[in-house]
Structure formats: structure tokens, C-alpha cells
């Protein structure tokens, strides 16, 4: 196994697998939000709340921002039942400072109170509202974990509606197959330090209701993936959802798309969002360069 930094190793020693329990989802949400609000935030970033198509969003902008009208839209993970714009705040601040573009975190509705298709409809509505707003343009779209389901579905629907697409997109440990058919679900059942299949399946059922788990609308890995923006994916080799990233790369390339897959060793699910340590900084800089590269291509 590749040696990781001392800072990463220190975090790694604190990790525990999220097993299915009886704690109410509302209490889990409160605890996660409280922990996120207690985190130390990078200096030099301001916050502003917006509503796009009626959906609350939080914009994170570095003081030395390049173009305040060009947005990176970000969708948090959490199984589509937990997480919020607040739980993504520390990471969005670092991303805003690294890219010098504002990062707009979407506070989409969560299951089970709001099952499919509420969240995806909200995200598409936000994207279309941003695209129609003369103040802004959509530079890139990114997501972690199950947030990638919403991001990829939004890209597919924008493409099919012949709307303008972002110049690039990026995913952190994307979970894109809620039927959990990837080989890594079994192969990495003992190596994933955070995620359990029982929790994945539970969240999927809460989100999907009666919809088919392998339908393209629920699991966009099975959709037609032609015509997507250049895509960057980060994942660790130990993850249950590793094969979602591998298959995403294969499908995009088969459709003649532009995709780069970075597979790390010795880390964990969505590690770039876990604070400022060497491996996280490296991933953030790679994402920033990916966004800058495809921004430069249009002049």
C-alpha cells in the first residue's frame, strides 16, 4: 500500500464504519450540521445566500475571486437523506480559494420526507435558473458520493433539453448505482473504512420509494452518457463504490467523452472534504486545474 501523510494517517485512525442503527435521521442530521458548524473555516471567504427556483443555495466566494459571475455548482453527499449546504461549507471554502471562483452549494430536499424525484427536480431547476440569470454563468458542476447521482442526472437532462452545459464537472467518490451491482461492493466489503452496504441500501430505499433501483433516473451510471462535459473523478481503491468510478470512466470513454480517473491508495470515502492535509490539498488543486483548464479553452 502507498504510504500516506502523517496527517491523513491521524484522521484515518479515527474513522469508523457507519453501520445501520436506530438513531432517527433527524438527529443524525442535527449532529452532522453541528459538527460542520464547529469546524474551523479557511480565512478570506465570504458567504451569501440565494434562492434559485425556490431552492436555498449558499455561495462561497474568496476575497480575491476572479470572476464573480462564473459559478461552480456543488452537490453534497449523505445518501440523499443527510447532509446540507452547511456540511459542505469547509470544503466549499477551500475549493473557492483554490479555484478563485464562487462555489454555490445547493441545499436540496432530502428523503424520506422528499423522495425521488424531488431532489433531482430541484437541482435541475437550480441549474436552469442559474443559466437563465444574467448575473451568472455555470462554469462547472461537482459532487461527492450520492450527490453525484443528482449532478449526473442534471447534466443528462440539460443535454437532452439542449440547454447549455457547464464547461467541466468533477466527482469525489461518486455513488452512481443504487442497485449496487459493482464488483467492489463485495470485493471491498472489509476494506472500506466508512461506508457499509446496509446503510447504502437503507438510504437507497428511502430515496427511491417504489422506483426501480437500476433505472437510469435512479442510477445514472446506466444512462446514455454521450456529450458530457470533461470529467474528473477521484476515488480510493478501498471503497465499496470504487467500481462506480471505474464503470463511469469506461462508459464516458466508450461515448468518446473526456474523462480522467484518479484512484488513490490508503485513504477513504470522499477524503478531500475531510480538511486540509496533503492528499486533500493535492486533490483540490487537481480539481482547480481541471476547472481552469477547461475555462481557458474558451478564452
CATH number for position 101? 3.40.50.1820
User: What pLDDT is recorded for position 67?
Assistant: 73
Domain containing residue 29? 6-294
Cβ count within 10 A of residue 278: 12
Cα 151 to Cα 175: distance, rounded to the nearest angstrom: 11
What b/e sequence results for 240-250 when a residue is b if at least 16 CB atoms lie within 10 Å of its CB, and e otherwise?
bbbbbbbbbbe
Q: Is residue 203 part of a domain?
A: yes
| Confidence at 299, pLDDT banded by 50, 70, 90 | low
Q: Is residue 101 part of a domain?
A: yes
Residues 1-50 have pLDDT tens digits of 579 999 999 999 999 999 999 899 999 999 999 999 999 999 999 999 99
Name the domain count of the chain: 1
User: What pLDDT is recorded for position 227?
Assistant: 98
Mean local confidence (pLDDT), 274-289: 97
Q: Is residue 299 part of a domain?
A: no
Residues noted as catalytic: 145, 239
* pTM recorded for the entire structure: 0.97
CA distance to 117, 134, 218, per residue, from 176 (Å):
15, 32, 8
Q: Is residue 1 part of a domain?
A: no
Burial of 1 (0-12, 13-18, 19+ CB in 10 A): exposed
CB 12 within 8 A of CB 4: yes
Q: Which residues pair with 235 in a beta bridge?
A: 263
CB 230 within 8 A of CB 166: no
pLDDT at 288 over 90: yes
The length of the chain in residues reads 299
Average pLDDT, the chain: 96
Nearest to 90 by CA among 227, 280, 239: 280
Phi/psi region, residue 293 (left: phi>0; alpha: psi -120 to 50; beta: rest), is alpha
Residue with cell 462508459: 251
DSSP-based three-state secondary structure for 50:
strand
φ, ψ (nearest 5 deg) of residue 74: -125, 140
Residue 66: which residues within 8 A CB-CB, separation 6 or more? Answer: 100, 101
Cα 190 to Cα 229: distance, rounded to the nearest angstrom: 34
Written as one string, the DSSP assignment of 246-294 is: HHHHHHHHHTT--EEEEEESS--TTGGGS-SSHHHHHHHHHHHHHHHHH
Residues 98-147 have pLDDT tens digits of 999 999 999 999 999 999 999 999 999 999 999 999 888 899 999 999 99
Residues 170-192 have pLDDT tens digits of 999 999 999 999 999 999 999 99
Q: Is residue 279 part of a domain?
A: yes
Amino acid at each position: 500500500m502507498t504510504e500516506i501523510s502523517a496527517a491523513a494517517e491521524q484522521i484515518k485512525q479515527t474513522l469508523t464504519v457507519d453501520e445501520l442503527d436506530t438513531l432517527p435521521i433527524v438527529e443524525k442530521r442535527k449532529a452532522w450540521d453541528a459538527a460542520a458548524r464547529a469546524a474551523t473555516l479557511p480565512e478570506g471567504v465570504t458567504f451569501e445566500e440565494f434562492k434559485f427556483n425556490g431552492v436555498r443555495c449558499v455561495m462561497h466566494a474568496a476575497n480575491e475571486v476572479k470572476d464573480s459571475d462564473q459559478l461552480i455548482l456543488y452537490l453534497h453527499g449523505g445518501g440523499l437523506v443527510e447532509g446540507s449546504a452547511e456540511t459542505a461549507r469547509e470544503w466549499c471554502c477551500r475549493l473557492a480559494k483554490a479555484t478563485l471562483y464562487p462555489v454555490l452549494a445547493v441545499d436540496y430536499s432530502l428523503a424520506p420526507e422528499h423522495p425521488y424525484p424531488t431532489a433531482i427536480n430541484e437541482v435541475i431547476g437550480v441549474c436552469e435558473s442559474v443559466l437563465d440569470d444574467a448575473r451568472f454563468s455555470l462554469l462547472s458542476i461537482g459532487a461527492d458520493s450520492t450527490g453525484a447521482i443528482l449532478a449526473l442526472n442534471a447534466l443528462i437532462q440539460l443535454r437532452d433539453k439542449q440547454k447549455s452545459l457547464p464547461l467541466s464537472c468533477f466527482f469525489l467518490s461518486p455513488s452512481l448505482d443504487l442497485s449496487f451491482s459493482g464488483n467492489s461492493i463485495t470485493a471491498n466489503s472489509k476494506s472500506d473504512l466508512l461506508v457499509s452496504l446496509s446503510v447504502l441500501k437503507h438510504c437507497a430505499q428511502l430515496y427511491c420509494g417504489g422506483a426501480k433501483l437500476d433505472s437510469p433516473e435512479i442510477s445514472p451510471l446506466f444512462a446514455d452518457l454521450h456529450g458530457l462535459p470533461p470529467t474528473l473523478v477521484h476515488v480510493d481503491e478501498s471503497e465499496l463504490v470504487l467500481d462506480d468510478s471505474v464503470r463511469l470512466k469506461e462508459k464516458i470513454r466508450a461515448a468518446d467523452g473526456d474523462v480522467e480517473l484518479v484512484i488513490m491508495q490508503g485513504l477513504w470515502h470522499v477524503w478531500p472534504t475531510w480538511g486540509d492535509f496533503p492528499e486533500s490539498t493535492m486533490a483540490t488543486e487537481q480539481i482547480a486545474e481541471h476547472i481552469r483548464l477547461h475555462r481557458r479553452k474558451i478564452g
